[in-house]
Amino acid sequence: MSQLRAFAAVADYLHFRDAAAAVGTSQPALSGAIAALEDALGTQLVERTTRRVLLTPAGERVARHTRRVLDALADLVDEAESARRPFTGPLHLGVIPTVAPYVLPALLRLAREEYPDLQLYVHEEQTGSLMDGLTGGRLDLLLLALPSPGLGGVEEIPLYEEDFTLIVPEGHELAGRRNLPRAALRELDVLLLDEGHCLRDQALDVCREVGASEAGATRAASLPTLVQLVAGGLGVTLLPQTAIDVETRPGSQLAVSRFAAPAPYRRIGLVMRSSTGRGAEFADLAVALRRAVGDLPVRVVR
């Protein structure tokens, strides 16, 4: 590379003294670098006369390639420097569907205000697909319910916990209740999400704990559909606290009931590959995310 830089300077200045000054070396060292490059390429690049320096036809062609090589090298160095700086370049973030609509506004605002050089790409998928994407290198970082599926080679950073609430139709006998015992679920038709959603598994755990069961074969692919089924009188369901304002807004024909302490809850956090070179960056991001969700109805985990 030093030989190419020397040759590029000679091609630009057509003067050994000026070229040597431009690259910060002596004229003898510059001449030696040019001679070494000619020897390596097996062709004469520079014609030296007593009055001036000329490029040979081969030198003219090699000079054009040399400039492209040096430009590419500069780009490579810039890219490497950017990669060493945190929160620059692309970040492919996977998010589960029962978190994305409710937490992404805070996350995107954080990225826009604090990490303007970060190119954030969001992938909303179910947990199994996200874990495959992470371990396969398609995704860099995940935001999902913890603990993550028992795969090796990953690390978790907890962010927050949020309680589950019971969602019932307006006018239901449990509408608006507080300090609701979990055992009340035994007498209810509990609607759940489809297979593959981690929220389904968490809700099933709550039901099994008190001996309740899922209502028939009715299931939904998303929380908005699930609450519509509840509004239509097909049963009740469990929602995480962050989804309440969005899914039970005025006019939704839904009511919220809250469980007695300790309420069932879920824990949300980041998951990354243990081998990632961005571990320190993701740890800093976790700190910022805990601040960003401070206005949400959650308990931050530090």
- As a whole number, mean pLDDT of residues 131-149 equals 91
- As a whole number, mean pLDDT of residues 119-145 equals 92
Mean pLDDT of the chain: 89
pLDDT digits (tens, 9 = 90+) for 167-218: 999 989 999 999 999 888 888 888 888 866 777 778 878 888 877 766 665 6
Domains of the chain with bracketed CATH = 1-82 (1.10.10.10), 86-160+267-300 (3.40.190.10), 165-265 (3.40.190.10)
- As a whole number, mean pLDDT of residues 121-125 equals 95
pLDDT digits (tens, 9 = 90+) for 71-106: 888 778 766 766 667 888 889 999 999 999 999 999
State the pLDDT at residue 215: 67
- As a whole number, mean pLDDT of residues 55-77 equals 88
How do beta strands 46-48 and 53-55 pair?
antiparallel
Least confident of 2-6, 64-68, 159-163, 196-200: 196-200
**Dihedral sign for Cα atoms in the order 19, 25, 26, 27:** negative
User: In the chain, pLDDT over 90 holds for what percent of residues?
Assistant: 56
Mapped onto helix, strand or coil, the DSSP state of residue 46 is: strand
Among all chains, which residue has been given the structure tokens 């969602």?
A: 167
Contacts of 72 (CB under 8 A, 6+ apart): none
Among all chains, which residue has been given the structure tokens 């970060």?
A: 118
State the pLDDT at residue 152: 80
Least confident of 62-71, 103-112, 216-225: 216-225
pLDDT at residue 258 tops 80: yes
- As a whole number, mean pLDDT of residues 210-227 equals 78
- As a whole number, mean pLDDT of residues 239-268 equals 92
- As a whole number, mean pLDDT of residues 152-169 equals 93
State the pLDDT at residue 158: 97
State the pLDDT at residue 216: 62
State the pLDDT at residue 277: 83
SS3 content of the chain, % helix, strand, coil (to 5): 45, 25, 30
pLDDT at residue 19 tops 70: yes
Specify burial of residue 230 (Cβ count, 10 A radius: 0-12, 13-18, 19+). buried
Instruction: State how far the Cα of 265 lies from the Cα of 254, in Å rounded to an integer.
Output: 21
